[in-house]
Structure 1
């Protein structure tokens, strides 16, 4: 049977079972195993099992449950509430100040927890009612929370970056370093947009009345609330950048910082740690199955010779190597509207990474563009996770239409950031090259 027919049957079976509503990870793993059996025979299973065994023995993999556990603990500490109070005092007196403060908290949360959703839930519960009560446009408030909440997978430490590194074989430390400047770029672009639009349309995000503005002593007292978040960030990223620990060892440092934070906020208890541990176990188990499916899919894909077929098809895309990269970004963007980011990684990375390598592009640079596209996937209709996190906690007067409409300008800002990083790849590559020579 020709490679064209095999490829058509393979991807056709994937689409069919996904449309039937089966879990994506089991569709990918199951279909891949069936095709491996009929192309290479039962011996091919030894190859898949050996690859999985190699991954399970990876020291890097230990970082995933540690970062997830850290996130689960920090969600329950009350850090977000105190951070919002501080931002409220410092930025509330300017137009769009509460929105800017919310973005700042989302950035801090992103640097602590490494997952998307934690900041969305926290800010949707704390910041959204405060902004609506003070006359903020609901779509502006929703959009700010939605986009800021997605930064958790870009600003290191990031679970998504660890998975990308495991699948692509690049350094986790380099991925973390590469995400710092792009993360700052996104924060600056988004904050400037909020400030400029609030200045041009003051009714969208009015400043707090004089009676609610804090004195300087009150502002400085509130700064104490950032001590613990900064401690966690320094324990994680500072130890990596300073060369004191590996990313995996830094994850253990982050867990220690999270436990200290929980103790300071008097939230540390056996029941809280037990609940966080159970949630960590469930999420880590899901990720383990994802790695199995990724290895099975990659082996089946290569055994059929589909890689050469896809590479040949990519050469037909106009615009040369850059046209191919742009086409990949468009494909990932469209998939982000209907699939979860981990599923997109499973489907696309085994196909895209060999092509990226053959074209001579830096896999670290491509990885950051890919992760930003995954971030967009969290916030784009119809199935973005952050949209549904928000819907679960917004007041009754806010509809799904409002939530969908709120993300449009912020998605365009993220696309703008991707374009800037494609034009100036040094934004991504400078810190990895400087810190990991």
Structure 2
């Protein structure tokens, strides 16, 4: 019951406006001393902070933050967002699509919500503000896209959850792919529908600012985008070894040959303009804005997916690649490099201190026995399997407010496994439900750490607007959770197709 009171006081303190990190630490000390003594809570705090500092995965946070800052300093992402807006200059809400596209890539690359939201905020907010986009919808798009890191493989949480549920991690990875793509598509559809209903939310460029294109604009778009997709496909196949053995050095020469074909074909079309067809200058900007950062992210992600590097090592590759790109674009100066390091330090401290504080608060909450009390209360009811699962999902959703996913996955979920097995509930499906549920909790006020990560890098945005933006996408997230709950095949089809039932 002390834990219940602690949650109530925490919600009140955050509503009043106290800083969340110091509030969590203070309440953890006070209620922990009340519940099980001051000496124990002191050692618990020391242990939790020490565990956070020794967590190797969290070393990826400053590396990915540095990567995002260097890409922003080099103007790569600003160039990409500008070119996408030009490419879709006749489409409302083009930058929302760009944010969700980039967020899906970073979700796969990082798996860390704080780093994803922070990088997206650094890269996208400035361009969106200048383009006159709606702050609430922009904040909701960034925070919702950033939370995809919990779900889209290779998710750190799924790696931890596999042994807990005694389910192969590969099954969880396969089961998470379709729900992750579905949620990203739902976000994009919502943003585009809102812009269609209210054009001021994501304005198109005025006619005088739209790029000069040929009368075959959609042919231009199809050829350029298809060529880029083929290029990345050849690069991935080359890295994976699929192109080996065709002829000597085929894994390297085939992608280079395709790039040469793209280059000389563009020069020929520009010179001859067959039937009045030509490539607009915007496609050069689009290519130069898309390919370098996408290749950088693909390189960092590929090093993880192909087993060449851990997430932290992959982040190191990404940070080094961003530094190289900044040098290649001649944007690196000693002053800019110093400012990037200083900003990386500030943002990393904000994120990691929040993680340490929430872990300590969660440890006190668990040590007080409140999760066990709630679980025993649930199991005492005589309900159907569906109703028990609904109540469990509601419980996890509520616990996701004050707690990190670590205590929920490692403390709450193991307590529930015997009941799930007795009710014959598929544990792979349950794991995806938990992942989507905890993703929803990241968007749920009043805690919603995603809001504080975004506020930390975009201070000009009001926290109230960020909250309102997140709540819109939280509703979409709940709809997605309901769909996966009602149709388990959304999560189970791919692993059954790959590995069999």
* TM-score normalised over the length of structure 1: 0.71
- Separation in 2, partners of 1:379, 1:300: 22
- Evaluate the alpha carbon distance shift between residue 12 and residue 405 of structure 1 in structure 2; reply closer, same or farther with a 3 A threshold: closer
- Evaluate the alpha carbon distance shift between residue 77 and residue 210 of structure 1 in structure 2; reply closer, same or farther with a 3 A threshold: same
Compute the RMSD of aligned alpha carbons.
4.7
The secondary structure found in structure 1 opposite 2:149 is coil
- Evaluate the alpha carbon distance shift between residue 416 and residue 261 of structure 1 in structure 2; reply closer, same or farther with a 3 A threshold: farther
The more displaced of 312-321 and 62-71 is 312-321
Which residue is equivalent to 2:97? 100
Match of 2:413 among 353, 357, 366: 353
1:93 positional shift = 1.7
Extract unaligned runs of 5+ from structure 2. Answer: 214-278, 422-426
Question: Cα deviations across residues 321-349 of structure 1 (Å, max 9, x unaligned)?
Answer: 4334433444555677xx56xx4547755
Which residue is equivalent to 1:147? 141
Q: How many residues are treated as equivalent by the alignment?
A: 405
- Evaluate the alpha carbon distance shift between residue 283 and residue 200 of structure 1 in structure 2; reply closer, same or farther with a 3 A threshold: closer
Which residue is equivalent to 1:417? 480
Question: Cα deviations across residues 165-210 of structure 1 (Å, max 9, x unaligned)?
Answer: 6699659888776654433212211222333454566576554344
Which residue is equivalent to 1:9? 2
Confirm or deny that 1:276 pairs with 2:344.
Answer: yes
2:443–2:474 contact (8 Å) kept in structure 1: yes
Confirm or deny that 1:252 pairs with 2:316.
Answer: yes
- Evaluate the alpha carbon distance shift between residue 169 and residue 283 of structure 1 in structure 2; reply closer, same or farther with a 3 A threshold: farther
Larger gyration radius, structure 1 or structure 2? 2
Confirm or deny that 1:24 pairs with 2:21.
Answer: no
- Separation in 1, partners of 2:409, 2:326: 38
1:367 positional shift = 3.9
1:238 positional shift = 1.7
- Separation in 2, partners of 1:349, 1:404: 26
1:383 positional shift = 10
Which residue is equivalent to 1:364? 431
Paired residues for 1:204-353 under 5 Å: 205=202, 207-214=204-211, 215=213, 216-221=279-284, 222-265=286-329, 266-267=331-332, 269-277=337-345, 279-281=347-349, 283-295=351-363, 297-301=365-369, 309-315=373-379, 320-331=384-395, 333=397, 343=403, 345=405, 352-353=412-413
Extract unaligned runs of 5+ from structure 1. Answer: 1-7, 133-137
- Separation in 2, partners of 1:178, 1:55: 30
1:154 positional shift = 1.9
Which residue is equivalent to 1:130? 131
1:100–1:191 contact (8 Å) kept in structure 2: yes
- Separation in 2, partners of 1:404, 1:156: 20
Which residue is equivalent to 2:219? none
- Separation in 1, partners of 2:436, 2:161: 16
The secondary structure found in structure 2 opposite 1:77 is helix
- Evaluate the alpha carbon distance shift between residue 154 and residue 218 of structure 1 in structure 2; reply closer, same or farther with a 3 A threshold: same
- Separation in 2, partners of 1:169, 1:12: 33
2:148–2:439 contact (8 Å) kept in structure 1: yes
The more displaced of 354-363 and 25-34 is 25-34
- Separation in 1, partners of 2:432, 2:209: 45
Which residue is equivalent to 1:393? 460
- Evaluate the alpha carbon distance shift between residue 162 and residue 243 of structure 1 in structure 2; reply closer, same or farther with a 3 A threshold: closer
- Separation in 2, partners of 1:53, 1:435: 41
1:376–1:411 contact (8 Å) kept in structure 2: yes
- Evaluate the alpha carbon distance shift between residue 297 and residue 328 of structure 1 in structure 2; reply closer, same or farther with a 3 A threshold: same
1:50 positional shift = 11
1:96–1:198 contact (8 Å) kept in structure 2: yes
- Separation in 2, partners of 1:347, 1:51: 14
- Evaluate the alpha carbon distance shift between residue 285 and residue 412 of structure 1 in structure 2; reply closer, same or farther with a 3 A threshold: closer
2:93–2:191 contact (8 Å) kept in structure 1: yes
The secondary structure found in structure 2 opposite 1:245 is coil
1:173–1:240 contact (8 Å) kept in structure 2: no
2:92–2:192 contact (8 Å) kept in structure 1: yes
- Evaluate the alpha carbon distance shift between residue 292 and residue 242 of structure 1 in structure 2; reply closer, same or farther with a 3 A threshold: same
Match of 1:90 among 87, 108, 114: 87
- Evaluate the alpha carbon distance shift between residue 319 and residue 256 of structure 1 in structure 2; reply closer, same or farther with a 3 A threshold: farther
- Separation in 1, partners of 2:35, 2:283: 63
The secondary structure found in structure 1 opposite 2:205 is coil
The secondary structure found in structure 1 opposite 2:460 is coil
The secondary structure found in structure 1 opposite 2:288 is helix
